[in-house]
Structure 1
Amino acid sequence: MGQAVCERSILVVEDDRAVRDLAAAILEETEFRVVEAESGEAALHHLKQHAEEVVLVFTDIRIPCFLDGVDLAQAVSTRWPWIKVVVTSGAPGDRVDHLPSAATFLPKPWSALDVLVAAEQAAGQPRSMSETR
């Protein structure tokens, strides 16, 4: 009859299924559970119910519906300031200038290592290679 353990997670927000699947597969290499959403609205819905579990939101800037990735990053940093945000885009335009100061921008195309390093830095989990010295 132990207490339920809160499983920490990363929320991947990307409307392009192939890119979302790739990012999720890469992020599954971390210790965190990966949750996927295809819009800012779906991401906010998940966060309203599970924000205490989420350590990182990894989002594209250009996602469908009303909220883009910058709007989502602003909402997360205001409502859930403990959640880190990594925003990515191949063509951010001037939207990148509107990111909250706590958000990290990762340009596309990114590599698997870029995603893992950004995620682990944002979540405060350094790569173990430096710890083995």
Structure 2
Amino acid sequence: MTEAPTSPTLIFVVEDQALLRMEAVDLLQEAGFETIDAENSDFALEIMRLRWREVRVLFTDVQMPGRMDGVDLATEVHRCWPHVLLLVTSGGVALTDEDLPDHGKFLPKPYQASTLISQVRGLIARGHSY
């Protein structure tokens, strides 16, 4: 019996600094993930409303312009779409995993490519299914 092909896991990258956003997208794509991205929480919520069924992990920076920071965005995403796993990063704000909803993880900047990939894979491996 042949198994049905599985689609790549979709990671949503939200980062206001274009170079950092592109670097994270490239790293995740090279690791075999599908990605979408946004530059702030306002755009991110618009995209989530359209693609919430597909998104498996939200990877967001804390400090960014807009009406919400990354922690508020993670909280809102968890409230509306609890199946989405949360990975939050920052170079200017020190958080702990306990500061994030639903067993989210905090990744301090600057991070290594291997650390980002292992954090995403770890979240997915431990994450709840939908």
TM-score, normalised on structure 2? 0.84
Deviations 1:14-37 (A, max 9, x none): 000010011011110233211010
1:118-129 to 2 correspondences below 5 Å: 118-124=119-125
Deviation >6 Å, runs of 4+? 94-97
Deviations 1:58-78 (A, max 9, x none): 000001111110001101111
CA separation of 1:94 and 1:123: change in aligned 2, threshold 3 A: closer
Per-residue deviation at 1:102?
A: 1.9
Q: Cα RMSD over matched residues? A: 2.2
- In structure 2, C-alpha distance between the alignment counterparts of 1:115 and 1:121, rounded to whole Å: 10
- In structure 2, C-alpha distance between the alignment counterparts of 1:109 and 1:85, rounded to whole Å: 18
Describe the SS at the equivalent of 1:27: helix
Q: Which residue of 2 aligns with 1:71?
A: 72
Deviates more, 1:15-24 or 1:84-93: 84-93
Deviations 1:97-118 (A, max 9, x none): 7421421100011000011011
- In structure 2, C-alpha distance between the alignment counterparts of 1:96 and 1:40, rounded to whole Å: 20
Per-residue deviation at 1:119?
A: 1.0
Q: Which residue of 2 aligns with 1:23?
A: 24
1:100-115 to 2 correspondences below 5 Å: 100-115=101-116
CA contact (8 A) 1:54 1:83 kept: yes
CA separation of 1:53 and 1:101: change in aligned 2, threshold 3 A: closer
**5+ residue gaps in structure 2?**
1-5
Deviates more, 1:23-32 or 1:41-50: 23-32
**5+ residue gaps in structure 1?**
126-133
